Every structure is written in C-alpha cells, then in structure tokens.
C-alpha cells in the first residue's frame, strides 16, 4: 500500500509540475547532434589539385628520337582500344599546339589543357609537340617532356603517336579518363 501511495504522490507532483504546459505543434524533435568542426574542404581540394597537377621533370622514361613512336597504356585498357587510338579512329575533341614553347610554358599549358578537356567531358584529344627539328642538335625536347608528363597524369589512360595526317610522330592522341 505504501508503494501505491508513493506512486500516487509522484504522479501528483508530476501533474502539478506540467499543468501549465502547452502541447507542441510537432511531436517529433530532432536529436541533438554534435557538429563537426569546420574543415576547409575547398582549401584541401585546391591543395590536392595543385599537388596532382605538378609534373616532375625528374621522371624520364627513356629518351626518344625524332622519328620514334610514343605509346603508353595504363593497366585495364583493352588492346582493341589501343589499336583504335593508334589508328586515329577516335574523334579528336580538342587540340593543343605546343610548337615553339619553352618547357615551362608547355608544362603549364598541357596541365591546363588536360584539366579543361576532362572537365568538358572530352575523351580523346591531340597534343602537338613537334618533332624537334628546330631545336639544338635536332633533339625533340618537348616530345621527351610530353612522354614523361603524360605518364604522370592519372587522368591520362593512354596515349599514342598520331597517324601521318594528324602530325605523325610530332603529335600524340591522348585518351582521358571520364570524370
């Protein structure tokens, strides 16, 4: 009996405490969530993009001569795709001409070109680097640089020297990854 009496007095106390309370219009409340500390995500993305865009001159696959064909294929690219690329059977959606550019200018232009091309949804682009016939010792400086730089870019799936009508060994077709 004392238990019922104690229960009743607790109920009475509660009812007295809430007698002036108004019902809420909404019966659901959102749970309290700890908010994350703000993270400068855009700054982090920009820094990662800059790091990804840096092209190193330290990585040199092998020196190529004026008439040598450039060819590169990442793992997972089918041989039929490479065959089509080498034959120039993909539609060229954009083109970059690097004739008479310095290495620094070429690097910056190539990086910008690849970013814009990928953002535009282009799959196959052409980069004209020249054969190096006008450089000292007739050494294809830009051809060697392009060979090195394109291998370092993760958005580049494959590249191949162009067919004769599109520039031959003085240009490359570049196959880009979809965004």
**One digit per residue, pLDDT tens: the chain, 179 residues?**
455 555 568 888 888 888 898 876 776 667 777 777 777 888 878 777 766 666 655 555 556 666 678 899 999 999 999 999 999 999 999 999 998 889 899 999 999 999 999 999 999 999 999 887 776 766 788 898 999 999 999 999 999 999 999 999 999 999 999 88
Rounded to the nearest 10 degrees, the angle between the axes of helix 141-152 and helix 103-119 is 40
Among 62, 70, 69, 127, residue whose Cα is nearest residue 98: 127
Contact between residue 105 and residue 141 where contact means Cβ atoms under 8 Å apart: no
Domains of the chain, start order: 67-176 (3.30.1370.110)
6 phi, psi to nearest 5 deg: -65, -40
């Amino acid at each position: 009996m004392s238990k019922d009496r104690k229960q009743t007095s607790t109920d009475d106390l509660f009812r007295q405490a809430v007698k002036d309370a108004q019902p809420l219009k909404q019966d659901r409340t959102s749970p309290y969530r700890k908010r994350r500390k703000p993270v400068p995500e855009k700054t982090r993305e920009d820094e990662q993009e800059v790091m990804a865009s840096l092209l190193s001159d330290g990585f040199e696959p092998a020196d190529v001569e004026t008439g040598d064909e450039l060819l590169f294929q990442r793992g997972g690219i089918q041989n039929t795709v490479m065959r089509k690329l080498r034959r120039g059977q993909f539609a060229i959606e954009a083109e970059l001409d690097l004739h008479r550019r310095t290495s620094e200018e070429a690097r910056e232009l190539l990086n910008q070109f690849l970013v814009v091309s990928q953002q535009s949804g282009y799959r196959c682009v052409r980069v004209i680097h020249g054969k190096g016939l006008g450089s000292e010792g007739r050494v294809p400086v830009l051809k060697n640089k392009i060979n090195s730089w394109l291998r370092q870019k993760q958005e580049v799936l494959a590249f191949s020297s162009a067919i004769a009508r599109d520039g031959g060994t003085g240009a490359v077709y570049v196959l880009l990854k979809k965004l």
